[in-house]
Amino acid sequence: MANAKEILKKKMSQQNYEKLIALDNEKLFDFVADAIELTNPASVFVCTDKPEDIQYIRDLATKNGEETKLNIKGHTYHFDSYFDQARDPAVTKYLLTKGSKLEPVLKHIEKTEGLKELNGFFKDSMVGREMLIAFFCLGPTNSDFSISCAQITDSPYVAHSESILYRWGYEQFKKVGSGGSFFRFLHTEGELEGGVSKNVDKRRIYMDVEEDIVYSTNTQYAGNTVGLKKLALRLAINKASKEDWLAEHMFIMGAHGPNGRVTYFTGAFPSACGKTSTAMIPGQTIVGDDIAYLRKIDGKIKCVNVEKGVFGIIRDVNADGDPEIFKALTNPGEVIFSNILIKDGKPYWLGMEEDIPTDGVNHSGQWQAGNKDAKGNEITPSHKNARYCLNISELVNRDPKADDSDGVEVGGIIYGGRDSDTWVPVEQALDWTEGIVAKGASIESETTAATLGKEGVRAFNIMANMDFLALPKGQYIQNNLDFANDIENPAPIFSVNYFLRGKDGEYLNGMLDKKIWILWAELRVNGDVDAILTPTGWIPKYDDLAKLFKDSLNKEYTQADYEEQFMTRIPEQLAKIDRIEKIYKGNADTPKLVFETFVTIKARLKDAQAKYGDYIKPSQFA
């Protein structure tokens, strides 16, 4: 845009204009000028990394009523519209040009049509409001992993949330240079009513992976508006595919082994399968709980936490189950609660294991026990998807390398699902290929009666990343397979399963047992323990687990429990492979190696079945 600077000068104060111009990026100037012309804000504020600018955002969020202060210093709460409480996949689409190779496999809208629709929503949407321009960095700053981002929004709540979740990136942005690439985000909460987005029926979240830009309108819920999170993950997956690295829906944790040794694991789990609880295992340390970038550096796989904060589901967070998080939520520090119950300046949520008041204020307005909505549904004290937003630095178990610009070396990769009858509690894949194909690309998560009213439905979720793919599944698998090609000793890959049930329907393991599976994997990665070879991978020996249970949980672990939990269930294993194969046979781009790997594993399973029967105890393989 030839006159971008003239538009900026006209709408911005001299101070804010100088802040922006100092970044010396014509693409950025055009982006901002276009947004100003389209949304027509009353004023524009450019946020740098300076404390006074950051404080301005915080103060504006409470000044305009998007956040309200609580009794504990630094704590605020925010409400979204009653109908704006979660990600909206129906209106979350890719903007694709006709003929794009992504077009047949991703939910999309033709780009010209989508931009026309968006422009209608964005037109004059910031009249009377202040436009906020903030800069963040995905990954640590001054790093091979760094991706610079420019966010434009009229919501200080969104900008404040991002300031907790992401590293500030104004100074980092200066390194982009006049021709460098960066991610762009444009958001408006739209017309407000009672301080929340009014026209949620016009909510739109569109992503242009060809231009690295995300648009979001008529919504405040962070999952739809904090563009640097799952929306940016889609941009990053596409970018990584072109540049030979990986952007994954993974936690990063430090598992603490003997003699002060720390081994770092990444892990991908679908929702409600134990991802956050694994990242927060007592006695271990957390680098990140949600998104990781993986790169090959000096012949090793290294990774970083894309974020520096946690946007977590608060339901069932309590002093017993999540002591580190609960401590942060009940002590002074910067925390934003969303869609919880408020009574006398104190937040309450489902599962906090404290008495919850029978009245107060929540996302529905004035609330009291027994309230129902227009459809007759019970309005719970806090929403089931209520959230907290805090900086990982508030957690006592934060790993010292959480912000290391070099990243941490990946010692092992873990994939987990919700599986009542097939996978054993922990197993190491025979090699990288089998780990990617038979573990990561074969994740299933069973629904529960509490969530969908029908228990045991298996939802396929490739690498726990199904909802965020910006590539055809076949290409995504191939990228993962190829990633280890030039790594001499790629990280071992493990599967875990915390939801195995016995014949009586009861779970075979307790909630804390996951600590043992991770500590065994840590020993295995470092060659400290042997394992038993089965048709699907390496499983622990009983004596090693019994020692870990005793030393780490002060719990007796019986041979009978071990034999039941680590039994190879041949019919269920074969049925699972058949289900997954059927899915991939429906994708023309599935790599041939996927099917070859399944054939190999099925042959081993059938050989074992012929020799030992349908259900094989570990001792029979030993």
Note the pLDDT of residue 449. 43
Q: Are 373 and 85 in contact (CB under 8 A)?
A: no
605 versus 375: the higher-pLDDT residue is 605
How high does pLDDT run on average in the chain? Answer: 94
- Residue 2 pLDDT greater than 70, yes or no: no
The pLDDT confidence band at residue 511, using thresholds 50, 70 and 90, is confident
Q: Is 558 exposed, middle or buried (0-12, 13-18, 19+ CB in 10 A)?
A: exposed
Note the pLDDT of residue 455. 58
The pLDDT confidence band at residue 457, using thresholds 50, 70 and 90, is confident
The pLDDT of 308-312, averaged and rounded, is 94
pLDDT digit string, tens, across residues 125-180? 999 999 999 999 999 999 999 999 999 999 999 999 999 999 999 999 999 988 78
- Residue 89 pLDDT greater than 80, yes or no: yes
What distance lies between CA 452 and its chain's CA centroid? 22
CA distance 236 to 8: 29
Q: What is the DSSP track for 141-168? A: SSSTT-EEEEEEES-HHHHHHHHHHSEE
Note the pLDDT of residue 1. 47
CA distance 546 to 563: 12
What is residue 335's three-state secondary structure? Answer: strand
Q: Are 114 and 92 in contact (CB under 8 A)?
A: no
- Residue 222 pLDDT greater than 70, yes or no: yes
Domains and CATH numbers, the chain: 4-64+88-243 (3.40.449.10), 247-307+402-621 (3.90.228.20), 311-394 (2.170.8.10)
pLDDT digit string, tens, across residues 531-583? 999 999 999 999 999 999 999 999 999 999 999 999 999 999 999 999 999 99
pLDDT digit string, tens, across residues 420-456? 999 999 999 999 999 999 999 999 999 754 343 455 6
Note the pLDDT of residue 320. 87
Give the closest residue to 266 by CA, choosing from 246, 280, 252. 252
Residue 439 backbone phi and psi in degrees, to 5? -110, -75
CA distance 459 to 481: 23
Distances (CA, A) of 492 to 265, 488, 489: 10, 12, 8
CA distance 439 to 491: 14
Give 551's contacts (C-beta < 8 A, 6+ positions apart). Answer: none
What distance lies between CA 600 and its chain's CA centroid? 33
The pLDDT confidence band at residue 326, using thresholds 50, 70 and 90, is very high
Note the pLDDT of residue 180. 84
CA distance 138 to 127: 30
CA distance 259 to 250: 27
Strands 335-338 and 183-188: unpaired
Give the closest residue to 94 by CA, choosing from 247, 230, 205. 205
Q: What is the DSSP track for 343-366? A: ETTEEE-TTSSSPPPSEEEETTEE
Note the pLDDT of residue 452. 37
Note the pLDDT of residue 70. 98
The pLDDT of 1-11, averaged and rounded, is 85
Q: Is 232 exposed, middle or buried (0-12, 13-18, 19+ CB in 10 A)?
A: buried
CA distance 270 to 250: 10
The pLDDT confidence band at residue 104, using thresholds 50, 70 and 90, is low
CA distance 33 to 10: 10
Segment among 216-225, 400-409, 546-555 with least mean pLDDT: 216-225
Note the pLDDT of residue 105. 67
Strands 92-96 and 108-110: parallel
Note the pLDDT of residue 453. 46
Please identify which of the residues 137, 149, 273, 303 carries the catalytic annotation: 273
- Residue 5 pLDDT greater than 50, yes or no: yes
| 303 tagged catalytic | no
Note the pLDDT of residue 101. 73
pLDDT digit string, tens, across residues 223-280? 899 989 999 999 999 999 999 999 999 999 999 999 999 999 999 999 888 898 899 9
> Can you state the percent helix, strand and coil of the chain, rounding each to 5?
35, 25, 40
- pLDDT above 70 as % of the chain: 98
